[in-house]
Chains A and B, each alone.
Chain A
Amino acid sequence: MVKLIKLSSIANQDWREVLIEKIEDLDIEDIELDFNDLLLNCDDIKEINSLCCKSRKRIINIKSTVPETIVSAKSLFFKSELYLKSNLKKNIHSGSKRKHNSEEITFHQGTVRSGENIHCQGHLFLLGDVNPGGIVRANGDVMIWGRLLGIAHAGLSGNNTAKISALQLMPVQLRIANKVARGPQQKPEPGLAEQAKITSGLIVISPLTSYK
């Protein structure tokens, strides 16, 4: 049997307290976590996992409406699923100072092959790979739950804070706003999600551990 535990940012409480309270007196070992609209990074999820381990609970599945949370969970090899928000107005995060844009997220499932082109207005969340020769472009962030081997352009309309994240970042080229960078020559570590963003005028790739 699996017990579903729901957490969210609405109550404006610290999620750690809520979680500990909820799992403390539970006699079921397997739990499923619903993070709803919480924005959690890899460190947060590691912490949650250790909290669960302490009280002898095992995380079977993670659910969330926030793509970043899912990417973090996925990169730590948790089974996870993304679902759509039922109410967009409650879209405020207490765990993070960064407010999530209420811009639309476009979901695309399937590999973007050579010569194919995806363009969207808001954020782009892609479930699949971008093969060499394929191009994905978005006005907001580009999040790829798969490998980026082609070209990605985030912040098309000049948004310097846009980010590109992928489970494996090996692009031909990265473009953020009006900056262009060539992809890294060496292969990244497998199982390590990475993100690219503009830091002091340059596109920099770093491991995907925190969203700031």
Chain B
Amino acid sequence: MAKDTRIILICSGKGGVGKTTLTANLGISLAQQGAKTAVLDADFGLRNLDLLLGLENRIVYTAQEVLEETCRLDQALVRHKQEPNLALLPAGNPRMLEWLKPSDMEKIVEMLSEIFDYVLIDCPAGVEDGFKNAVAASKEAIVVTNPEVSAVRDADRVIGLLNTNSINPVQLVLNRVRPKMMASQEMLSVEDVTDILALPLLGLVLEDEQVIVSTNRGEPLTLNGSKSPAGKCYSNIAKRLQGEEIPLIDPSKEGTSFGDKFKKLMQTKIF
């Protein structure tokens, strides 16, 4: 039975920009909104999506065992305790790096898409084999980048590769936005980034210390309806994915005190 499952690749090229954090939070948000969601950790060499979701100690099987038919798919799927709509499937064991081929990935995703509405694939950094495997199975993609020259450059490269693999649509999430630094032009602005990458912007995520706390605890920010700035951004992105129209935050109006507003006013060109 062909179901309208959305298979979304979350990738960035550069490491450490927030792919896994976005995958975890988006997974939780989508599940909260009632969509049956699977998150697939394709970064099996250095997997840590399970850590972020707090599911590390519950993994028994991986997709590898499912393909070898030593276990059933529902045995390998790890359901989230608080959010039963969300399930995690680790792609493989870090000790066996060689087994996965693009065709294996396609098989796993096909199995998942029979059960779930959304399959989010957490792509490894880089553009080598791990990336190629992950791309093979995906239909659409979200590119995560930071407002930094190096992250934007790598994202640009990845977008080129996604286009040649006919992944469509490709959307952009700009992570770790610091409104103050953007206002004082110390950081690439949203326009600078979208100018180069020329992608529709799915959302901005504000820089937030709470992200580090939640990562270490294994509880994604969106889990407890957190009111933290980044948590709100993540759940807005999930709503936009579902087709809701929510306006993007304006970094210039975010968290600015009177002093900052005054400073900004002084920088505004009148003539």
Point out the residue from A115, A129, A149 that lies within 8 Å of B157, measured CB to CB.
A115
Specify which chain B residues have a CB less than 8 angstroms from the CB of A114 in the assembled complex: 153-154, 156-157, 160
Min C-beta distance of A102 to chain B, whole Å = 33
A115 and B160 form a contact (CB under 8 A) = yes
How many A residues are at the interface, by size bracket? Answer: 10 to 19
Min C-beta distance of A3 to chain B, whole Å = 37
Interface of B is mostly: helix
Specify which chain B residues have a CB less than 8 angstroms from the CB of A129 in the assembled complex: 196, 198
Specify which chain A residues have a CB less than 8 angstroms from the CB of B157 in the assembled complex: 113-115, 133
Judged by a CB distance under 8 angstroms, whether A43 is at the interface is no
Closest residue of chain A to B162 (Cβ to Cβ) is A113
Judged by a CB distance under 8 angstroms, whether A131 is at the interface is yes
Judged by a CB distance under 8 angstroms, whether A111 is at the interface is yes
Specify which chain B residues have a CB less than 8 angstroms from the CB of A131 in the assembled complex: 156, 196
A111 to B196, CA, bound (A): 9
Closest residue of chain A to B156 (Cβ to Cβ) is A114
Judged by a CB distance under 8 angstroms, whether B159 is at the interface is yes
A111 to B163, CA, bound (A): 11
A132 and B160 form a contact (CB under 8 A) = no
Specify which chain A residues have a CB less than 8 angstroms from the CB of B196 in the assembled complex: 129, 131-132, 149
With A113-B159, A113-B160, A116-B160 as given contacts, are A132 and B153 in contact (CB-CB < 8 Å)? Answer: yes
Contact with A along B127-165 (1 / 0, CB 8 A): 000000000000000000000000001101101100100
Min C-beta distance of A186 to chain B, whole Å = 15
Contact with A along B187-221 (1 / 0, CB 8 A): 00000000010100000000000000000000000
Specify which chain B residues have a CB less than 8 angstroms from the CB of A149 in the assembled complex: 196
Specify which chain B residues have a CB less than 8 angstroms from the CB of A132 in the assembled complex: 153, 156, 196
10 interchain residue pairs of minimum CB distance:
A113-B160, A114-B156, A115-B157, A114-B157, A113-B156, A116-B160, A114-B153, A131-B156, A133-B153, A131-B196
A113-B157, A114-B157, A129-B198 known; 12 new pairs, CB 8 Å cut-off, are A113-B156, A113-B159, A114-B154, A115-B156, A115-B157, A131-B156, A131-B196, A132-B153, A132-B156, A132-B196, A133-B153, A133-B157
A sample of 24 inter-chain contacts (CB < 8 A) reads A111-B198, A113-B156, A113-B157, A113-B159, A113-B160, A113-B163, A114-B153, A114-B154, A114-B156, A115-B156, A115-B157, A115-B160, A116-B160, A129-B196, A129-B198, A131-B156, A131-B196, A132-B153, A132-B156, A132-B196, A133-B153, A133-B156, A133-B157, A149-B196
